[in-house]
Amino acid sequence: MLLKNASNKSKRINQPDMGELEHKFEVEINTTENKQKLPDEVKAELKETGMMDEKGKLKLKGVSPKMLKKMKQEFVNCPVLKEEVQFVQCFICPNFQSRVMGKVLCKGDSLK
């Protein structure tokens, strides 16, 4: 019995170019070993939108517990708020476009 050989040609995967999404800023993601706390107003907003339960546990759709743990140790220098913010806060921001290779693509629009 003869088996047909499968094609060894790999398909080209188009990787997103950072220029494809409309954004004003490319913000570097930094990590820290220290535990970071979300501000109370952010926690309240997360609870209102259903992204955090009453006990304070984050429930972000499409984010695994392992990735969430990593995200809690990351922060960015937000160009809109002009301060360091925890990456989770950046991730839920309406200006968040995408996370690509250690950078965040930010629309840069005013938040209020």
Question: Average pLDDT of each block of 10 consecutive residues along the chain (112 residues)?
Answer: 47 50 88 85 88 86 88 92 91 90 91 76
**Looking at the 3D structure of the chain, how many domains does it have?**
1
> Which pLDDT does position 85 carry in this prediction?
92
* Residue 68: inside a domain: yes
Question: Which ranges constitute the DSSP H helices of the chain?
Answer: 40-49, 65-71, 87-92
* Residue 17: inside a domain: no
* Residue 26: inside a domain: no
> Which pLDDT does position 78 carry in this prediction?
93
> Which pLDDT does position 41 carry in this prediction?
87
Contact in structure between 97 and 46 (CB atoms under 8 Å): no
> Which pLDDT does position 33 carry in this prediction?
87
* Structural domain boundaries, residue 44: 31-106
Task: Round to whole Å and give the CA distance between 80 and 78.
Answer: 5
Q: Provide the sign of the torsion angle of the four alpha carbons 29, 24, 85, 52, taken in this order.
A: negative
Structure tokens at 4: 């047909």
- Token pair 């990351």 is found at 74
- As a residue count, the chain comes to 112
Q: How many CA atoms lie within 13 A of 70 on its CB side?
A: 7
* Residue 23: inside a domain: no
72 DSSP 8-state letter: T
Residue type, 65: P
* Residue 98: inside a domain: yes
> Which pLDDT does position 9 carry in this prediction?
47
* Residue 90: inside a domain: yes
Contact in structure between 25 and 108 (CB atoms under 8 Å): yes
* Residue 24: inside a domain: no
* Residue 38: inside a domain: yes
> Which pLDDT does position 74 carry in this prediction?
93
